[in-house]
């Protein structure tokens, strides 16, 4: 095993990202625009702006798209199923957080 | 290296049909998928199941694996017998697309397979790649003219509330696969120093562009995502950027009002308790929670929840004080119960 040390890295908080274009969201998540459009049609991620060319996404969309992509790929569920699963998972997480209190 | 009992991992009999294996895999994949499962070793289990499926779903590989015999125990020290795979050929479709079962999650595909798997199927797989029979998925060889972007890498990082209050620097070490010119995969340890931005919340992610897995050819590297988790705190409870503190008060402080010292994540403050405060009542100290992380959000608040503590009556004078109270109050704590 080789050890390698680097300088201090500063990243960005994904969830704080605002005003991502469709193109930037595609690049970040390594998916095609058609996939994003399907997720928007599913009501799973919600851009601001009416026209596709003016769509603006926030950082939460990045996480949602990545999760959808993984679940779809790994478990073989369709988009509607993925959306349902993730919404239920989010709900369970909120309930767990309440229990911890 | 350790022998892996793929049938045991999948929870099926050695004579299970391909359909039974497929069903078992689907069930386990749902159970242990790292996006779904909260179990601590979910990712490890998910990889194990993926590896077992990789072998058992493929009749050629399954036959080769079965040939090792049924007498091995999981965890037993194992070395592949010489020429063990004579008569089997893992080329063509055998492994192509392999690893994709958990490819999308981990990204560190090569290291995702156990040494046991690599010793049995790794070699044949690499030869197949060199022979040009496998697709671009089939390996980590530096195939000329093939470029592919590196995948994203995901890791979790534990921080304290104080780190989110003030910002901090953390060192993390990641195990990443490294491919040499001959196509051999080794695991390399990378130590990264990361700035934890002030104002980050539990469950948020830090993205470090280009710090994920390296790309192939001229493909660019993937990103590194760090999920933030807070260590449980001794006195505070955190919800988003809001912080909760249970503050014990004496009955007379709650009844008569008082000024008490209260710890906050930002330091001690003097807090005025209003006369007649009830047990469980909440006081909000605006902006004294976790600070804002950007101009688009605002600082959290600190909620102080009063917990009236009952003083024990041990001495005679303490008992007398309680008796005095009994005489002075016409107080029925069970009035709501109708008794």
Q: Is the pLDDT of residue B137 over 50?
A: no
A positions 57-76 inside 8 Å of B (CB): 62-63, 66-67, 69-71, 73-76
Between B45 and B151, where is the model more confident? B45
- What is the pTM assigned to this prediction? 0.71
B177 versus B263: the higher-pLDDT residue is B263
- Does the distance separating the beta carbons of A15 and B169 come in below 8 Å? no
- A chain contacts of residue B152, beta-carbon cutoff 8 Å: 30, 66
Number of domains in chain A: 1
Asked if residue A8 is part of any domain, the answer here is: no
pLDDT bracket for residue B129 (50, 70, 90):
very low
Q: Which of A14, A18, A63 sits opposite B296 (nearest CB)?
A: A18
Cβ of residue B205 closer than 8 Å to a chain A Cβ? yes
Report the share of chain B in percent with pLDDT over 70: 81
A63 CB neighbours in chain B (<8 A) are 205
Shared fold status for B153-230 and B236-337: yes
Q: Is A35 within the bounds of a domain?
A: yes
What is d(CA B209, CA B199) in angstroms, rounded to the nearest whole number?
20
The mean-pLDDT minimum among B37-46, B112-121, B246-255 falls in: B112-121
Closest by CA position to B115, among listed B62, B180, B187, B45: B187
Q: What residue ranges do the domains of chain B occupy?
A: 6-130, 153-230, 236-337
Give the domain extent around A71: 17-100
What confidence tens digit (pLDDT) does each residue in A24-45 have? 999 989 899 999 999 999 889 9
pLDDT the model gives residue A5 = 52
Average of per-residue pLDDT across B135-158: 62
Residues of A in contact with B294 (CB under 8 A): 13, 16
Whether residue A2 lies inside any domain: the answer is: no
How far is B87 from B76, CA to CA, in rounded Å?
25
Q: What is the complex's ipTM, to 2 decimals?
A: 0.81
pLDDT at residue A100 greater than cutoff 80: no
The residues, ordered by sequence, that sit 6+ positions from B245 with a Cβ below 8 Å of its Cβ are B235, B236, B237, B262, B263, B264, B302, B303, B304, B305
Residues 142 to 201 of B: which have CB under 8 A from any A CB? 149, 152, 169, 178, 186-195, 197, 200-201
Position of tokens 């010292």? Answer: B261
Report the CATH number that the domain containing residue A69 is assigned in CATH: 1.10.1660.10
B91-117 pLDDT tens trace: 433 333 333 333 334 433 444 678 788
Please state the length of chain A. Answer: 101
Whether B231 has its CB under 8 Å from any CB of chain A: the answer is no
Residues of B in contact with A26 (CB under 8 A): none
Strand partners, B190: A4, B174
Q: Which residue has the higher pLDDT, A73 or B175?
A: A73
Task: Check residue B217 and give its pLDDT.
Answer: 76
Check whether B60 has a pLDDT greater than 80.
yes
CATH architecture for residues B236-337: Sandwich (2.60)
pLDDT value at A46 more than 80: yes
Mutate to test the interface with A, among B148, B198, B204, B220 (most CBs of A within 10 A): B204
What residues 7-46 of chain B have any CB closer than 8 A to a CB of chain A?
Answer: 26, 29-30, 33, 35-36, 38
- Sheet of A3-10: strands edge to edge? A3-10, B185-196, B168-179
**Cβ-based contacts of B237 with chain A (< 8 Å):** 100-101
Q: Which CATH number fits domain B153-230: 3.30.450.20, 2.60.260.20, 3.40.50.1820, 3.90.550.10?
A: 2.60.260.20
Express each pLDDT in B252-281 by its tens digit: 999 999 999 999 998 999 999 999 999 999
Q: Is A97 on the interface with B (CB under 8 A)?
A: yes
Q: What is the mean pLDDT of residues A47-58?
A: 88
Residue A78: inside a domain, yes or no?
yes
CATH for B6-130 is 1.10.287.110
């Amino acid at each position: 095993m080789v050890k390698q040390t680097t300088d201090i890295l500063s990243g960005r908080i994904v969830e704080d990202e605002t005003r991502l274009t469709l193109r930037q969201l595609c690049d970040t998540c390594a998916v095609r625009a058609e996939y994003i459009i399907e997720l928007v049609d599913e009501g799973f991620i919600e851009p601001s702006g009416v026209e596709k060319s003016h769509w603006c996404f926030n950082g939460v969309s990045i996480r949602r798209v990545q999760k959808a992509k993984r679940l779809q790929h790994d478990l073989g569920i369709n988009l509607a199923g993925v959306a349902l699963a993730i919404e239920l998972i989010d709900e369970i997480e909120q309930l767990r957080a309440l229990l911890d209190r | 290296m350790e022998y892996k009992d793929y049938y045991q991992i999948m929870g099926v009999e050695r004579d299970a049909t391909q359909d039974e294996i497929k069903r078992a895999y689907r069930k386990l994949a749902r159970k242990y998928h790292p996006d779904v499962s909260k179990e601590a070793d979910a990712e490890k289990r998910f990889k194990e199941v993926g590896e077992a499926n990789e072998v058992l779903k493929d009749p050629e590989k399954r036959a080769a694996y079965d040939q090792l015999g049924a007498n091995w125990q999981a965890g037993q020290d194992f070395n592949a017998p010489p020429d063990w795979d004579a008569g089997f050929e893992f080329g063509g479709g055998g492994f192509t697309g392999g690893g994709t079962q958990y490819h999308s999650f981990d990204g560190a595909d090569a290291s995702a397979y156990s040494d046991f798997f690599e010793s049995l199927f790794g070699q044949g797989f690499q030869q197949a790649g060199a022979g040009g029979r496998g697709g671009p998925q089939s390996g980590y060889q530096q195939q000329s003219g093939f470029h592919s972007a590196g995948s994203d890498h995901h890791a979790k990082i534990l921080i304290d509330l104080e780190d989110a209050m003030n910002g901090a620097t953390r060192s993390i070490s990641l195990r990443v696969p490294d491919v040499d010119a001959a196509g051999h995969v080794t695991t390399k340890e990378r130590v990264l120093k990361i700035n934890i931005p002030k104002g980050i919340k539990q469950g948020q992610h830090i993205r470090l562009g280009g710090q994920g897995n390296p790309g192939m050819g001229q493909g660019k590297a993937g990103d590194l995502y760090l999920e933030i988790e807070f260590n449980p705190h001794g006195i505070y409870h955190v919800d988003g950027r809001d912080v909760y503190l249970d503050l014990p008060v004496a009955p007379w402080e709650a009844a008569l009002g008082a000024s008490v010292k209260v710890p906050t994540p930002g330091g001690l403050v003097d807090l005025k308790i209003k006369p007649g405060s009830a047990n469980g009542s909440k006081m909000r100290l605006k902006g004294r929670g976790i600070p804002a992380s950007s101009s688009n959000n605002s600082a959290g608040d600190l909620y102080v929840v009063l917990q009236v503590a009952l003083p024990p009556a041990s001495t005679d004078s303490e008992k007398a004080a309680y008796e005095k109270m009994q005489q002075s109050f016409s107080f029925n704590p069970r009035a709501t119960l109708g008794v």
